Structure 1
Amino acid sequence: MVPPETHVYAKRVLAGADGEADDPGVVGGVTVGDPARAPVRPGGPGRSRRFFTRSTSREEKARAVRGLGALGGLAGVIVALMLLPAACTAGVGARDSADWFLTEPEGLTTAGVPLRSKVLSEDGRTIATFFYQNRVDVPLEKIAPVARKAVLAIEDSRFYEHGAIDVQGTLRALASNVSSGEVTQGGSGITQQYVKNLLLTQADTDEERAAAKEITAARKIRELRYAVAIERRFTKDEILRRYLNIAYYGDGAYGIEAAARHYFSKHASELDLAEAALLAGVIRYPYAYDPTRHPREARQRRNVVLDRMIELGWVDPAEAEAAKNAPVDLKVTTTRGGCVSSEAPFFCDYVQREILTNRVFGETAEEREKLLKRGGLTIRTTMDRRAQKAAQRAVLDYVPAKNSAHKAAAEAMVEPGTGEIKALVVGRELGPDKERGKTWINFAADASHGSSIGMQAGSTFKAFTLAAALDEGMPFGTRLRAPEKYTPVGFRNCDGENVGDPSASLGNAADGEGGRSFSLVTGTRNSVNTFFLALQKEVGLCDTVKMAEKLGMRQANGKPLEQYPSFTLGFNAVSPLRLAAAYAAFGARGKYCEPIAIKEITDASGKKLKVPPRKCEQAIDEGVADAVNHVLSGVLTRGTAAGMGIGRDAAGKTGTVDNFSAAWFAGYTPDLAAAVWVGDPRGGYRHPMTNLCLEGRCYGAVYGATIPAPIWRQSMMGALRGTEATSFHRPPSFFFSKGSGEDRVQVPDVRGMKLGEALSRLRAAGFETRIGERVRSGRYDPGVVADMSPGPGPAEPGTTITLRVSDGPGREERGGRPGGGEPPPGPPGTPLPTTTPTLPPLPGDPEEQAPA
């Protein structure tokens, strides 16, 4: 015997003809039997209803059935359903076929509904969205009750009374459709409509989408089985919530929350009666009732919904009439997907490429794209909006996007010790390169994250040679002669091969000067090319390359750095992001971290997804990094970027590429590092930066300090405004073992001067001063300087000069020396033999004294 429940479902299935539209996202099915729920077409009210009560001949009914067969095979659906349960599983008994129908289908899943993903800045601000369908999933309590009522009134007013299949509604739909000879009304309730939309959104291929839309017995039976299973799995409230979030509301808005934001610029929880009725009316035919395209038809449909709500007693008639008389008042907000409309387009593009290319997010490109555009992800990034805005403003202030010279600039900012990318800027809009001031290429990033092949880095690479020299124990005072021209011979790469061209001659055309000796300090400050070629040879080309590699450097195309003598002059093409991350390691006392842009990702359910891990390591010793910081700090005070300080401890290096084809500045504090490139995307050698004018500012030849350094200074000051300054650490005293590395100058003779005058004279010459114990002197009057140590002669600027003031002659000098005789021989002011000299401390460590 067939269970009573089976008979109920069999009866419901008999009424299964629907009139759902086949367009993706169009929700079909209106509960029939009510004038307000007949389909309405643009240009007029809905068709009149027809019931079995109409006088119709048997022949006319047969023609109607044949007509249904011509409409996508609906006749086959009806015939198949009438044979259920006997024919549903050919040759199987009624009980088995009933059991089959009531058994939950294999593979039934409610996952896969496309949800839009959002990209957030560090402070939680949305900077971009990605979606296949613009949908924002919200809980039922965040949908205004009047909106729920409006949808139920026009789509399925008996939703909370019937099961998966509305017997009354589908029977009336069948009657109307058979009587008219065409599909005029649908019989699907909200659960069935949810199922159909679910299958459509889960379809990945054209074949799957066609199968989800075809009007066949097989499809209808599958949907009905799914509907039965859905009703068993979820409460009515949950089904209604899912339906409201999956339905298509026209003009690219999927789900009621996205529709409310799009049409009215408000949340679904804030919808009023007229707005709710308008959205509820759109569901039946989203394209026909789209209020942005067909406002008259949308208004008519809205009023149909309001009439239905009055008929059901779900709204106050006076309130409904007022809503019917109101105009369709839209406040359209367009939600653009992707990075083009983002406030940080190139940072957004970096994040997008990270997800689309990293296998952490899926084995195939298709899986990764599906995750991003359909997964409803919340992507929390490292971007600091203050730093991003500061960098964008600085870049565009100096190199406007649509400048007549066609130059471009890019900047990357990285946090030392974490590798977090705080800002990523290209001084152009994200878009087609054929349009002036736009580009798809992210010049701030590597090819893997921006399609850029990189740019030659110029003298910024000298920092790696300096670091290698300090790592090998060279003190600051190490001096090498820098010739006017340098022939690059005697270099070996890491494979032990001789590299270099004896016929080549490298000089100092871009930075600095040659023809004399320099220390590590002065050679770096002046960015002397030939000095660094000589230093690289002393250190070893391979060791210099390995130092750069330890600090994360590689070519922008992903390949290892090329190894030639001009390595230290920066011929390798790299990205600002790589360079900023390397310099950030100096600021972090030798700790290098791979750049990262993503902190955390959660899916629509709040579950955390795996993201690329942080990769940090101690690349160089802390003391070596401290020494690098000490030397590079001088670039901003006495070197090629003098005057570019930012009011706190900072260090950096200029870079000028051959023939002024590009210019760089890379600099950092312990809190933030940044690298700036300025050049011509059309080719720097073909379009050098000489006699350059940019929006009212004209330059002769552009060096690293000309445009990149000011951009760096402005952006760093803006990014760090309001943050507490962190100081560099003092280098180990060993690095001062050969002095400070400053060029030696003449110490002025201040003996015989009054103390105040002597102090001023020495300080003006660049020396530090200290007052020692008073001394007895018959040669100098009391109160004037009688002794200085070290005495007059060459010394390094910054050396501490100890001054001793005369206290007048002693007893022996007043009365003469015992036994008579003259004072000890020597020039005036020679210390008495009994005077013990006090030597100045090393600049690096006040606790230690210089060796005697």
Structure 2
Amino acid sequence: MTQARLHKLLTVVIAGTLAGLVLATAALPLALVLGLGFSTLAAPYSELPEHLVTPPTAQRSTLYAADGTTEITSFYEENRADVPLTEVAPVMRQAILAAEDARFYDHSGVDLRGIARAFTANRSGPVRQGASTLTMQYVRNVLSSDPTLSEEQRKAASEISTARKIQEIRYALALERELDKDEILGRYLNIVYFGAGAYGVATASRRYFSKAPADLTLAEAALLAGLVQSPHTDDPIHGDADAALRRRGYVLDRMVETGAVAPAEADRAQAEGLALKPSVQPDDCAAVPEERNDWAFFCDYFTDWWNRQPAFGASVDERQRTLRRGGFRIVSSLDPDVQRDTQDRVLAVYGTHSPHALPTAVVQPGTGRILAMAVNRTYGLAPNPPGQENRPHTVNQLVAGGDGIDGYQAGSTFKIFTVLAALEAGFPLDTRFVAPSRIVTGWPVDGPTSCGGRWCPANADPASMDGEHTMWTAFGRSVNTYFVWLAEQVGMDRVVAMAERLGIVLRADEDARRARYGARQWGPFVLGVAATTPLDLATAYATVAAEGVRCTPLPVSMIVDRGGRPLDAARPDCRRVLDADVARAAADVARCPVGDQSAYGRCDGGTAAGLRTRAGRPVIGKTGSSEGYGTETVVVATPQLVVASMAANPDDPRDPAGKTVQARMVEMAAGIVATALRGQPVRDFTRPSETIARWGTGRRAGD
């Protein structure tokens, strides 16, 4: 056996025996101590576990706005954030060493002198002293907080036993051979608990004093260092100020003894009051700052998105643990300026106490990134009046749907899916049909729109809608009977499938059942009777604006793990779902409703004819009204931006939004586009081929 090996073994034996005696004097029967101690000492020497070198401590994840600096909120089980030792004030380092391990730079992980002192003190008086060096404390903290271990394993790491103490000694000795002293001190300061929910010095300095650890004063550092021994009982924020001050005085005295500070400096620090300036680290979406409460709806969507990503775990519970322990820096897609402008414009239409909601989504074609999610509601769980589940407070996802929110009928905005299905089936844009005021279809239906058991919808304004039309003019004037006829030619199953292909999620049970088992007979789907959401609708029109590339809605632009590595989960999830020429042709048709002009000059009339002028750039889009104007919808898109907004009463579908609100919604959507894209290049839509347009040679009804 080498001399170094023998020295190491002797150190373990002596330290383990003394440690057992210290524990025995403090808490354990002598026979138990000796039994555990000798059996453990007889075991082979343990090598250093990897997680002690790179501890997998739980750290909070922080969600930022798209600017990368404005914090939205954070997510954590333990409020912790690592900081380099160079960013910790020297006085804080001195204070923690004076309080916990004055001989830290002199021993090799185990302080035999300190163990002997503790043994003597514990035999002679009622005050119990520990024998753990700072390195041993670090080992215990890592093992007791390792998120990869079970709850039982973490509890075992801090139990009072000789076996556990000897394991600490072994690991501490091994650790000091792997890391230098400053590395161990830095890791210790990042893992130790300071009370009041603050783990690590960076979080503690902000929790107690609202400042960075580099800016701590002597009095502040001594206070924090004093909390480590009894963080639950000496917490000055929650009524233990006297105990905290006594501990601060002890630390200052120890700093004088070690020569870290002069007696006069310690006296001045001791004369200072607590001078606390506590701050609370926000946790989860309910903790989004009040002045940005509307951002919480976006935050809520982000957490739902995270819970659906298999990259973060095999189950929702596992993905949540990953978020709350992983220490991720998450830069979201939320643009503060676009969100602020969108929210202001929404509130200008409806106030938070209005029975009608105006959920609005703004997305980016080609990436799916969500730039804004606004609605005239307050995010929170405060009680509402009876019968008003979502007014004025709610945490329900009115913009994106889910958790009981199926969505709202989008009306004629769904006609775009008939256009696309027809184009794919070989019908050109110049397909002509003499649209009657009412059309009797072959689809069975009951109710007021039934003619002898067959669905027979009518045009809303026969004077401007009846007569011969192409896809351009029929889409611009929103001619119901034209698109009902066209859908019959194409096949309703193709129309329904097209909507789902472009991102429409049929959340209502009845809608999902019809799509799966009765799509061929679901004629009213043409006119937007299925429930949808602004985010789904924006995704569908963004697919057209991006020339057939559909991108899954994405609430992030960058995710960086605690090691500084960017994760692939933040990349856009996009794929081509339409031929580019088909998408360009649909976009050419969609110029007509919003006052733009098709590449072939074929637009003639539009339901929102002034929108292009107000937006100040080429746009496509559509308006929609459900039966009886129960809901109103506006979608407007450019190659860079899509806005989708829907007016409805989410608590009572029988309460119509009314026709008049549509004009205000058009004005709102145009304003969002104009403001969001101010200063950005003006981009136009690509002209579709003459083959798909077949200008002047389009097929007619009966061809």
TM-score interval, smaller chain: 0.7 to 0.9
Matches within 5 A, 1:234-253: 234-253=179-198
Bigger share in helix: 2
Using the TM superposition, give the Cα deviation of residue 153 of structure 1 relative to its aligned residue in structure 2, in angstroms. Answer: 0.6
Q: Which moved more, 1:472-481 or 1:419-428?
A: 472-481
Aligned counterpart, 1:422:
371
Paired amino acid for 1:570: G
Partner of 1:619: 577
- How many Å apart are 1:145 and its aligned residue? 0.7
Secondary structure class of the residue paired with 2:675: helix
Match of 1:460 in 2: 413
Aligned-residue offset at 1:738: 4.7
1:442 to 2:387 alignment: no
Report Cα offsets for 1:455-479 as digits up to 9, x if no partner.
2221110111123334445455543
* SS of structure 1 residue aligned to 2:72: strand
Q: For residue 507 of structure 1, give the secondary structure of its aligned residue in structure 2.
A: coil
CA contact (8 A) 1:512 1:529 kept: no
CA-atom RMSD in angstroms: 3.1
- Counterpart of 1:688 in structure 2 is 656
Alignment of 1:95-114 (within 5 A): 97=43, 100-101=44-45, 103-104=47-48, 110-114=54-58
CA distance change for structure 1 residues 336 and 501 in 2, over 3 Å: closer, same or farther?
farther
Q: Structure 1 stretch 237-246 or stretch 299-308: which is displaced more? A: 299-308
Question: Which letter does structure 2 place at the counterpart of 1:439?
Answer: T
Q: Does residue 370 of the first structure (1) align with residue 339 of the second (2)?
A: no
- 1:164/1:74 CA distance change after superposition, 3 Å: farther
| Equivalent residue number for residue 40 of structure 2 | 88
Q: Which residue does the alignment assign to 1:672?
A: 641
Aligned to 1:409, what secondary structure does the other structure show? Answer: coil
1:537 match: secondary structure: helix
1:325 aligns with 2:274: no
Per-residue CA distance 1:531-572 (angstroms, 9 max, x = gap): 321222233323323432332333146958722101111112
TM-superposed CA distance for 1:375, in Å, is 0.9
Map of 2:544 onto structure 1: 586
Letter in 1 for 2:345: A
Specify the alignment match of 1:408 in structure 2.
357
Tell me how far 1:604 sits from its aligned partner.
Answer: 0.9
Are the structure 2 counterparts of residues 389 and 222 from structure 1 closer, same or farther at C-alpha, using a change threshold of 3 Å? Answer: same
Matched position secondary structure for 2:40: coil
Is it true that 1:116 corresponds to 2:60 in the alignment? Answer: yes
Deviations 1:224-273 (A, max 9, x none): 22222322222111111111011111111110001112222211111121
From 292, 297, 309, the counterpart of 2:243: 297
**Highest relative contact order (Cα 8 Å, sep 6+), 1 or 2?**
2
Q: 1:106 to 1:194 in 2, by over 3 A?
A: closer
Residue 340 (1) aligns with residue 289 (2): no
Amino acid corresponding to residue 167 of structure 1 in structure 2: L
Deviations 1:734-762 (A, max 9, x none): 56655599xxxxxxxxxxxxxxxxxxxxx
Equivalents in 1 of 2:176, 2:616: separation in Å?
67
Task: Please point out which of 671, 690, 693 is paired with 1:714.
Answer: 671
Instruction: Quote the residue 1:47 is aligned against.
Output: none
2:229 matched to which residue of 1?
A: 284
Which stretch has the larger CA shift, 646-655 or 212-221? 212-221
Equivalent position of 1:791 in the other structure: none
2:66–2:335 Cα contact (<8 Å) kept: yes
Equivalent residue of 2:267, what SS?
helix
Query: Percent of pairs identical after alignment?
Result: 36
Letter in structure 1 aligned against 2:8: E
Alignment partner of 1:353 out of 304, 317, 323:
304
Q: 1:481 aligns with which of 427, 434, 437?
A: 434
Of 552, 560, 569 in structure 2, the residue corresponding to residue 602 of structure 1 is 560
Deviation at 1:581?
A: 1.3
Deviation (angstroms), 1:409: 2.1
Are 2:559 and 2:570, in contact at CA under 8 Å, matched by a contact in 1?
no
**1:390 paired residue number:** 341
The answer (yes or no) to whether the contact 1:660–1:702 under 8 Å persists in 2 is: no
User: Which residue identity does 1:111 align to in structure 2?
Assistant: P
Change (3 A) 1:656 1:18: farther
CA contact (8 A) 2:399 2:534 kept: yes
Change (3 A) 1:277 1:598: same
Query: Is the aligned partner of 1:12 residue 2:15?
Result: yes
Give the corresponding residue for 1:548. 499
Residue 130 (structure 1) shift:
1.1
1:260-275 to 2 correspondence within 5 Å?
260-275=205-220
Q: Which SS does the other structure have where 1:412 is aligned?
A: strand
Alpha-carbon offset, residue 587 of structure 1:
1.4
Shift of 1:393: 2.2
Please list every run of 5 or more consecutive structure 2 residues that lacks an aligned counterpart in the other structure: 385-390, 596-604, 699-703
1:636 aligns with 2:594: yes
Q: Secondary structure at the match of 2:624?
A: strand
Question: What letter corresponds to residue 609 of structure 2 in structure 1?
Answer: A
> 1:557-615 CA distances to partner (integer Å, 9 max, x unpaired)?
69587221011111122222221111012212233222223344322112343427544
1:528 to 456, 475, 479: 479
CA contact (8 A) 1:18 1:185 kept: no
1:200 aligns with 2:144: yes
Structure-2 change in CA distance of 1:141 and 1:406 (3 Å):
same
Task: Write the distance in 2 (CA, Å) between the matches of 1:168 and 1:351.
Answer: 54
Q: Deviations over 1:179-208 (max 9, x none)?
A: 23x562222111111122112212655433
User: Hey, what's the Cα distance between the residues in 2 that align with 1:470 and 1:364?
Assistant: 41
Give 1:103 deviation, angstroms: 4.2
Matches within 5 A, 1:184-195: 184-195=128-139
Contact kept? 2:75, 2:324, Cα under 8 Å = yes
Matched, 1:380 2:335: no
- CA–CA separation in structure 2 for the residues paired with 1:187 and 1:170: 5
Is 2:455–2:523's contact at 8 Å kept on the other side of the alignment?
Answer: no
TM-score, normalisation: structure 1: 0.72
Aligned counterparts of 2:396 and 2:463: Cα–Cα separation in 1: 33
Q: Highest Rg: 1 or 2?
A: 1
Q: Using the TM superposition, give the Cα deviation of residue 426 of structure 1 relative to its aligned residue in structure 2, in angstroms.
A: 3.5
Task: Letter of the 1:221 partner, please give it.
Answer: I
Whole-angstrom distance in 2 between the partners of 1:702 and 1:325: 69
**For 1:56-71, what aligned pairs fall within 5 Å after superposition?**
68=26, 71=27
Asked whether the equivalents of residues 443 and 455 of structure 2 are also in contact (C-alpha less than 8 Å), the reply is no
CA apart distance, 1:712: 1.8
SS of the aligned residue for 2:606 comes to coil
Q: Secondary structure of 2:569's partner?
A: coil
Cα deviations across residues 405-445 of structure 1 (Å, max 9, x unaligned)? 33222122221222222223333233327444222221222
Q: 1:183 to 1:241 in 2, by over 3 A?
A: same
Amino acid at match of 1:655: G
Q: Is the 8 A contact 2:361 2:370 kept in 1?
A: yes
Secondary structure of 1:219's match?
helix
Rounded to whole Å, the distance in 2 between the matches of 1:333 and 1:647 is 45
Question: What letter corresponds to residue 669 of structure 1 in structure 2?
Answer: T
Matched-pair contact (CA < 8 Å) for 2:377–2:392 = yes
- Are positions 1:654 and 2:633 aligned together? no
Query: Counterparts of 1:511 and 1:276 in 2: how far apart (Å)?
Result: 79
For structure 1, the residue ranges without an aligned partner over 5 or more in a row are: 21-64, 493-498, 691-700, 742-852
Could you tell me whether the CA contact under 8 Å between 1:17 and 1:173 is conserved in 2?
no
The separation in 2 between residues aligned to 1:332 and 1:350, in whole angstroms, is: 30
Amino acid corresponding to residue 541 of structure 1 in structure 2: M
> Per-residue CA shift, 1:628-656, capped at 9, x if unaligned?
22332221224212223301111111111
Q: Is the 8 A contact 1:247 1:255 kept in 2?
A: yes
